[in-house]
Structure 1
Amino acid sequence: MRSLLVIHLHSDYVSEQTHAVSSWQAGPEHLLESNGYLTLPCRNESEIKQLILNADAAVLNIPVGTISIWSGRLEQAKAIPLLWWCSAESALSSTEACEADVTVDGILTPSMAAHELNWALHFSAKRFFERQHWQSERKQLTARLEERKWIDMAKGILGEVNGIPEAEAYDVLRKKAMNERKRIVDVAISIVKAQQMLKA
């Protein structure tokens, strides 16, 4: 992890030279660059979309309450580890949102030594891959539950129409899927939708 997208969305982060220099010194760029990391600072969505493709992770220098909004937008552009820059200012401005449900893979602070920074980035990358794996498993389980719902409805319809128990209805459904060379859930969906059209 060498290239870090640094997102500044504080209202006081302005482009005037004096403010930009003081923000840079207080912000994550100084800490990251002095430890050999390349930073890609940005302040708006168009800059983020351009720079995220070259980033290994994102450092969010934003209030906690806005993390969920921006993590969703970043996820759409590119899935990368997300770290929150917890400065004294951002920690104070985020106290009312401390119970917010936010997804970050790590936290960086201005007082971190080089080895602490390296470990924080290492563990955040590991946490990110675990989170991605968990989200993938969750999507698969949700898809399976959705498929099961369609299959159960189709079994009920076939059982009712043919006057057979659900176990037999499942066999009918499975054989129909094999004969049509389709997935069983696709056949189930077509049966349920056909029945819904007849009832309409």
Structure 2
Amino acid sequence: MRSILVIRVQPIPAGSSEAIPLTPEKLLGAVGYHVQVSDSEDEVMKLAREVDASILHLSLADVAYWVKRLVEEKSDTPLLWWCAPDTASSSAHDCEVDTSFDGIITPSMAGPEIHWTLHFAARRYMERKQWDQERKQLQSRLEDRKWIDMAKAILCDLKQISESEAYDLLRKKAMDERKRMVDVATAIVKAHQLLQS
């Protein structure tokens, strides 16, 4: 992981009389990462596909919007939050955010801590993607099971057979037609619904 995108809504004003706070790009650049910074939504969406990770230098109130946008654009990289005095103080009332981060970076981190944080964020990201994929598979299986159960009920009612006989009938029809069992079940349910209406 070498290329990082920092997303910031409010650019740090140039020529500010106050001491310029440590920013993620300064910290990451100092330890060898290539960092790009953007506050433009169009530019962020373009860059998010090209980098290895994204860091949100935002208050938690702004995070939900950007995470949603990144997911919509299918940005497929680990997501970290820059937890610094400027972002943390404006986030006190939003600490129960529903967004899943893969890691947090703070200004007090040293080079090895940053490297390990990014390494663990990448692992956490891969686990999160795997869990999401497994969840979708389980939801698909539950949906398939629903269609099969409805078709079994219809067959039991129409043919006056037991549930196991209805299941065997569905399985045999699926094998004979070289279709998935759920496709046969769906066709039976939809045909029955059409005949009922």
Same fold, TM-score > 0.5, yes or no: yes
Q: Which runs of 5+ in 1 are unaligned?
A: none
Aligned residues: 195
Q: Report the alpha carbon displacement of residue 60 of structure 1 after superposing the two structures with TM.
A: 0.6
- Give the counterpart of 2:110 among 81, 96, 113: 113
Q: Which runs of 5+ in 2 are unaligned?
A: none
Instruction: Identify the residue that residue 28 of structure 1 maps to in structure 2.
Output: 24
Q: Report the alpha carbon displacement of residue 9 of structure 1 after superposing the two structures with TM.
A: 1.6
- Give the counterpart of 1:44 among 40, 46, 53: 40
1:148 paired with 2:142, answer: no
Instruction: Identify the residue that residue 7 of structure 2 maps to in structure 1.
Output: 7
Q: Helix, strand or coil for the counterpart of 2:108?
A: coil
Q: Distance in 2 between matches of 1:93 and 1:125?
A: 27
Q: Distance in 1 between matches of 2:63 and 2:165?
A: 51
Q: Report the alpha carbon displacement of residue 172 of structure 1 after superposing the two structures with TM.
A: 0.8
Q: Which amino acid letter does the alignment assign opposite residue 2 of structure 2?
A: R
TM-score, normalised with respect to structure 1: 0.91
Aligned 8 A contact 1:8 1:43 in 2? yes
Instruction: Identify the residue that residue 159 of structure 2 maps to in structure 1.
Output: 162
TM-score, normalised with respect to structure 2: 0.93
Aligned 8 A contact 1:64 1:102 in 2? no
More helix by share: 1
The percentage of counterpart residues that share the same residue type is 49
RMSD: 1.7
Q: Distance in 1 between matches of 2:173 and 2:115?
A: 57
Aligned 8 A contact 2:49 2:76 in 1? no
Q: Helix, strand or coil for the counterpart of 2:109?
A: coil
Q: Distance in 2 between matches of 1:99 and 1:199?
A: 48
Q: Helix, strand or coil for the counterpart of 1:170?
A: helix
> Runs of 4 or more off by more than 3 Å in structure 1?
none
Q: Report the alpha carbon displacement of residue 89 of structure 1 after superposing the two structures with TM.
A: 1.2
Instruction: Identify the residue that residue 124 of structure 1 maps to in structure 2.
Output: 121
Instruction: Identify the residue that residue 137 of structure 1 maps to in structure 2.
Output: 134
Q: Distance in 2 between matches of 1:60 and 1:27?
A: 11
Q: Report the alpha carbon displacement of residue 94 of structure 1 after superposing the two structures with TM.
A: 0.5
- Give the counterpart of 1:80 among 56, 77, 89: 77
Q: Helix, strand or coil for the counterpart of 1:182?
A: coil
